[in-house]
Amino acid sequence: MPSHDMNSFQTVLRSSKHIIAIAGAGLSVASGIPTFRGAGGLWRKYDAMSLATPGSFRRDPSLVWQFYHYRREVALKAMPNPAHLALASFSLPQTRALIAPDSTFTLITQNVDGLSARASQQVQSAQPQFLDVPDDTQTKLLEMHGRLFDVRCTSAKCGHTEFNTTSPICASLAGTELAIAAGDADHAIPVVDLPRCSECGALARPGVVWFEEVPLHLDVIENLVDQADLCLVVGTSSTLYPAAGYASEVQEHGGTVAVFNLEHSAGDEEADFLFLGPCEETLPKALGLTSVLYS
Ligand code: BJW
Ligand code: ZN
């Protein structure tokens, strides 16, 4: 049975040396970004397999682009919430030195909304003196399922990727987000009018990792998982591999797992600690960062 005791968690946190966090869609719920599965999840209106696979993009790039255009527009309007900011603050070596001395920390996120990167920028610009620290103690952020704002060429010969936050990404998609949000997209946009590669003119695609595609940074992540003595699992249903397997790998070599989720999630009965509730409340508290965030 997992413990729900915050004080015991903080004792473990204090002595941990290699800490990782695996984050999922629940991290961004308080920022207004819907989850994938469950009540209110994005995939209640559309079948995941008709939106997030390479095959579906080949068959219907117009529908897939409308879905991602909608997601880009939502993410552009969203702001990092206290859970993003707690993880970003915990990433700063000087902050972490007070909570878990001499530790490393890496945030591995499955989210593509860019909010963790924005939280990092926000926290660093509030404390610019913290930028001047040795590289090996700097926090790393690994966005393993890619980024909504990366736009990638579909031509294997070109492969150009660019970070593009233009709203709307192209004129033909303007306004289609309303139909997608209502669950009644039927607006077929000609392929020539969809986003194109700025280098070679071929059809571009969202720079995210779809089902059957290989997630990013896997070698680095495997090493971190092998070394980790504490794994925080934040706002993920833990149903999607390989991310869903990392917590049990950490436990298998003797590390501790702490789950932060609104509800029960896959494998949480095996965790060492379980904090049920909104992670935007439980995580800042568990990391001892509520005063930093709200002062
Ligand atoms: C809150 C909250 C609050 C709400 N506070 N909590 C092994 C076994 C079986 C199958 C496979 C396997 N390995 C691979 C597979 C196949 C497949 C897979 O896992 N399928 C499963 C269905 C079993 N995996 C893949 O295809 C992956 N590729 C792959 O494995 O390549 C092969 C390979 C691997 C390794 C080496 C070499 C080769 C690719 C997966 C790509 C996933 N892509 C998506 C879409 C990304 C683009 C986009 O965003 O559109 O990623 S799918 C979708 O699921 C998205 C998410 O990142 C991902 C995870 O979802 P997440 O984040 O957990 O969200 P939800 O909605 O499920 O859960 C939200 C949670 O938040 C809930 O628990 C709520 O309770 C909670 N919550 N509010 C705290 N306020
Ligand atoms: Zn190109």
Q: Give residue 284's identity as a one-letter amino acid code.
A: P
Is 262 annotated to bind ligand? yes
Quick one: which of 223, 262, 186 has its CA closest to 104? Answer: 223
For 132-142, the pLDDT digits (tens) are 555 444 448 99
pTM: 0.95
For 57-68, the pLDDT digits (tens) are 999 999 999 999
What is the atom index within ligand 1 of the atom nearest the CA of 110?
57
CB 103 within 8 A of CB 94: no
Q: Which tokens sit at 18? A: 């290699």
What does residue 139 show for φ and ψ, rounded to 5 degrees?
Answer: -75, 145
CA 155 / ligand 2 centre spacing (Å): 6
Is 236 annotated to bind ligand? yes
Catalytic residue IDs: 145
CA 174 / ligand 1 centre spacing (Å): 29
CA distances from 216 to 70, 189, 242 (A): 23, 30, 11
Cβ neighbours around 227 below 10 Å, total:
15
For 70-104, the pLDDT digits (tens) are 999 999 999 999 999 999 999 999 999 999 999 99
Q: What is the pLDDT of residue 181?
A: 82
Mean pLDDT (whole number) for 158-179: 94
CB 77 within 8 A of CB 115: no
Q: What is the pLDDT of residue 185?
A: 79
> SS3 of 14, please?
helix
Q: Which residues contact 141 (CB under 8 A, 6 or more apart)?
A: 91, 106, 107, 109, 116, 117, 120
